[in-house]
A and B are shown apart, each in its own frame.
Chain A
Amino acid sequence: MKPPESKTLRRELASIVGDDFVLTSLPDRLAYNADCWPRGIILSRGRQLHRHQPAAIVQPRNEHEVLGVVQWARRTGTPIVPYGAGSGVCGGTLADGDGVVVDLKRLKAIVDTNAEDMTMRVESGIIGMNMEVELQRRGLTLGHFPSSLYCSSVGGYLAGRSAGQYSSRYGKIEDMVASMRVVTGAGEAIETGPAAHASRPRHLVADSGPDLTQLFVGSEGTLGIITESTLRISKLPTTRLYRGFQFRDIPAALEAIREMMQLGLRPAVVRLYDEFDSLLARRKSGGGSQSLRAKALTAKLGEVAMDVLPVPVASELKGRLSGVSKAVLGRILGQPLTLNALIDVLPADCLLVVGFEGESPIVDNEADIAFDLLGRHGIDLGREPGEHWLQHRMDVSYKQSPMFDAGAFVDTMEVSTTWSNLTRLYEGVRRALAPHVLVMAHFSHVYPEGSSIYFTFAGFGADTDETLRRYEATWRTGLDAVRKAGASVAHHHGVGISKAGFTAHDHPGGRPLFQALKQTFDPDGILNPGKVWGDAEGTETWP
């Protein structure tokens, strides 16, 4: 079925959400042309602004209006794309010319907070920071602190299985959610599980069948639109103990972290930087976000090179690196193999930032045990590195990196595996990406059974087309290396478009199961088409 013409579309949508909340102007559609997927930034820099402009954006104010939009989409055969705050980095909220974006920012209420059972009921469009400020005012916390906290929504966290910086203590969002209210693509509003907050009678909740909470978490809007959720919260901790440790290399540090986690200790924060990332972490304010790292990379790459290169070479380069120009970036990032080889011989150590939060005297003892253990494997650097990280952990730059202006790109890839496979994964991905991009990594979400690795890579192309080619080749090569290592291709950024060709790797034999879910909850295929599961494993090209 062909979606309605623009005037009809606008009129019909306005009858559901009101005229003020149907956006069809070119500037509005341009604003939704890209999320935070770096490929979108490359395309925008290259003036390719047409690929993902939606036909319209609607901003419903409640579940009833969301239902109206879904039913309209079913009737007209129009693809619809749920949108939280647009901070996703995998293209999960991108539409195409026919699609309508359903922006949930008006669903921003905290419906209820209950300290008796430590749960809260919240609408999906609320920004994480606004919610956390309100919770902390009451001495409570969700414990979910992604570096995008100021510009990301609760619905987005749930849709993409997000993780915050304190995941080792509080878990990922799928560990915090008790139930959700979802409008499915079949045009029904359902509660995915029983919740004391839900005003609906208990008997309306199914007493058989799958646990829909886990099936809708991480579905990225392909099965339904999350409108509300019940989340488990905690008391705000009163004691924070942070420390830095230095290790001679990655395996030594990982051994110490593994031992700590398998004792059952629950640090709030564990961030281990590899040799190059450690250099950057020490040089910049904080060790956190992708944007920050990109900025630091730009500003400090020359400085780092000066530190590690032989003096004559450094002298020659010094003048050229005085400003970050396209030529300089091209020179540096255009020879990634050399640069990565250089990193391999860096006379650097690895930095670990570890933090414990909770109540005295329990947390003091837990931290003491951990710090003693880590000190036996590495060198205790004292409180400063940890407290420095704590102070600057949210220093995120919301400006697009100047590197993109200069024809370069920076992106991150978060993958996970078991402890016994972790070094193999780290080395395999680094080796595979080395000819394409400069690559560094940190390990930041750890569990008794394994860890995630957060790779950051930077590359360069002479023009938009070459940059895009290299960017796509980098992703394909990187994910293929993850696949070969037997690790998961996504730990907390979700799949979107960028990894859709590799989802089957994490779920061998899962395609017919996903298709069954799709036919059940989105029988017309209107919800976020083309996301999460690609058409064929590892072969398709991005739209």
Chain B
Amino acid sequence: MKRKTKVARAFYDKRTLPQPHAELWPDDAAQLREAMHDVGGPRALLGDGQHVRTPILGDRGFEVIRTEHCRRIISVDRESKLVRVEAGIRWGDLQTELAERGLSLERYRLYPASATLGGLFGRFNGIHRELWDGDLRTGCVAMTACGSGADYRYLAAPRKASGPDLRWLYIGTEGAYGAILDATIVAWSPSGARLLTWRPERFGQAAAIVNDAWDLGLRPSWTTWTGYKTAPDELLMAFHGPDRLVDVAVNTLRTRHDVPCEVLGGAEVATRRAELEAAHPDRRSLATANRTVHAIFSTRDLAAAMDSLPASVESVHIGTWTRHHAHAFVRYARGKTLSELPTRVSSRALDVRPIVDDEAVHWPHSAQTLKTLLDPDRRLAAGP
């Protein structure tokens, strides 16, 4: 395993992350496991470093384990459409590699293409997943993780009822208790695709279309909305499935909503997806990151929250929108570096945090106790 004491400062500076003493570069999951068990540290795990929060790492010096070389596709179960893959692979690369194998991840929501799978699982999520929302956490069937003790393996079988789902000690905990070594996720055969581009005049029209689609029983693979001041309102909804079914979905929605709408199909949908994932706002390295806030709203409060946004907001991008909630990326105008939304907006949010979040993190007592029990020597730099 390669160990670098001279680290690329630009990588950390760009992400406003503290510089580590050294970097360890495991080549695969086995070496990652070794690095986790090796006496030393404290150590922190880093994929693309887009989602880790500075306060999570604390102010102790640490080494970083860079997981990006752990990118092997371990196995493909074509009959079950399951792919077991090392957690350091980037989301965009995984889609490309699976496409070469005749499989697709087109039904997942949009994620930053550069993010690693482990980073997407490990990042803190403000709310719980839901069915058919395209969340990777829902598509994850099995997982291997390791902490300071033995590996933990969550068996590959659908929807188990054998006690608490212990994967969630690693999913969303930002590497505080251990490393995700590999994950098994559901993939699909490529199918018919349609992308509806609506241009509503008012936000309420967009909300009505989204709610209607879900109430009709449609499940868009992904939905985004961009608008507010500088950008014209644009609602994108992608559907995947048998051609006949996606056409019925498109025609039904268009008939029910008198809003200008264009329809793209086939490869154009994949291209648009790739563009959106390449420009995904949920990244610390973006130039606009320090003036972007990620807020999650219940759909009951979404419209009121949008109405209450301050004049200094430049644009809003809703990256995931279901019948129950929406993830909004609120970008302030250049020169504005507000770290929080106004109380009248944030009080309506289920969760809210700036993309570059350097504020202190509140660790609940239970999380601290778990840290003491699962990482008693504090060999992992992340966590309380």
Contact = CB atoms under 8 A, between A and B. Distances in A.
Given A196-B300, A264-B240, A419-B80, A520 B366 contact: yes
Q: Which of A116, A258, A421, A447 has the most CB of B within 10 A?
A: A116
A263 B56 contact: no
B162 A503 contact: yes
A450 B241 contact: no
A414 B363 CA distance: 38
B127 interface: yes
Interface in B208-245: 214-219, 240-242, 244-245
B80 A217 contact: no
Interface string A90-125: 000000000000000000000000101111000000
Interface in B127-145: 127-128, 130-132, 138, 141
8 contacts: A171-B131, A206-B367, A207-B353, A210-B370, A211-B168, A359-B217, A363-B217, A510-B166
A495 B161 contact: yes
A264 B299 CA distance: 26
A220 B165 CA distance: 12
B324 interface: yes
A533 interface: yes
Given A175-B130, A202-B347, A210 B172 contact: yes
A308 B189 CA distance: 43
A365 B244 contact: yes
A235 interface: yes
B109 to A, nearest CB: 15
B337 interface: no
A395 B361 CA distance: 53
A461 interface: no
A172 B366 CA distance: 27
A193 B174 CA distance: 17
A311 interface: no
Contacts of B82: 418, 449
A18 interface: no
A272 to B, nearest CB: 15
Contacts of B132: 171, 266
A48 B151 CA distance: 43
Interface residues of B, number: 86
A216 B79 CA distance: 32
Interface string A499-515: 10011011111101111
In the A-B complex, the 8 residue pairs with the smallest Cβ-Cβ separation, listed nearest first, are: A209-B367, A488-B157, A358-B217, A161-B161, A196-B298, A116-B300, A418-B80, A171-B131
B217 A237 contact: yes
A416 interface: yes
Contacts of B166: 215, 507, 510, 513-514, 517
Given A207-B361, A365-B245, A503 B163 contact: yes
A194 B166 CA distance: 20
A352 interface: no
Nearest to A119: B324
Contacts of A226: none
Given A366-B245, A418-B82, A507-B166, 16 more contacts: A207-B351, A208-B361, A208-B362, A209-B173, A218-B161, A218-B163, A218-B164, A232-B130, A262-B188, A361-B248, A365-B245, A489-B162, A491-B158, A508-B152, A514-B166, A521-B366
A263 B174 CA distance: 34
Given A196-B300, A507-B152, A211 B80 contact: no
A429 interface: no
Contacts of A202: 346-347, 349-351
B270 interface: no
Interface string B302-332: 0000000000000000000001110000000
Contacts of B366: 184, 190, 209, 212, 520-521
B188 A488 contact: no
B79 A420 contact: yes
B341 to A, nearest CB: 12
A533 B301 contact: no
A210 B169 contact: yes
Contact of A358 (B167, B216, B242, B296): B216
A213 interface: yes
A170 B245 contact: no
B128 A514 contact: no
Contacts of A223: 164
Contacts of B126: 194, 207
A167 B132 CA distance: 12
A208 B362 CA distance: 7
Interface string A402-418: 00000000000010111
A117 B324 contact: yes
B160 A520 contact: no
Given A209-B366, A369-B245, A416 B157 contact: yes
Given A419-B79, A503-B163, A235 B215 contact: yes
Contact of A264 (B154, B168, B172, B191): B191
Contacts of A176: 131
Given A196-B300, A206-B364, A218-B163, A451 B107 contact: no
Contacts of A520: 366, 369-370, 373
A452 interface: yes
A491 B370 contact: no
A140 B323 CA distance: 14
Given A447-B158, A510-B166, A211 B244 contact: no
B108 interface: no
A515 to B, nearest CB: 8
Nearest to A502: B162
A363 B189 CA distance: 22
Contacts of A235: 215
Nearest to A492: B161
Interface in B88-135: 107, 124-128, 130-132
A445 B161 CA distance: 13
A219 interface: yes
Contacts of A162: 161
A97 B244 CA distance: 62
Contacts of A538: none
B125 A211 contact: yes
A248 B91 CA distance: 42
Given A232-B324, A509-B153, A416 B163 contact: no
A206 B323 CA distance: 24
A489 B232 CA distance: 53
Contact of A450 (B80, B125, B214, B364): B80
Contacts of B374: 512-513, 516
Contacts of A491: 158-161
Contacts of A205: 351
Contacts of A487: 157
A473 interface: no
Contacts of A178: 127-128, 130, 324
Interface string B344-364: 001101110100000001111
Contacts of A172: 159, 161
A419 B174 CA distance: 32
B81 interface: yes
Given A116-B300, A419-B80, A521-B366, A514 B164 contact: yes
B162 A490 contact: yes
B160 A488 contact: yes
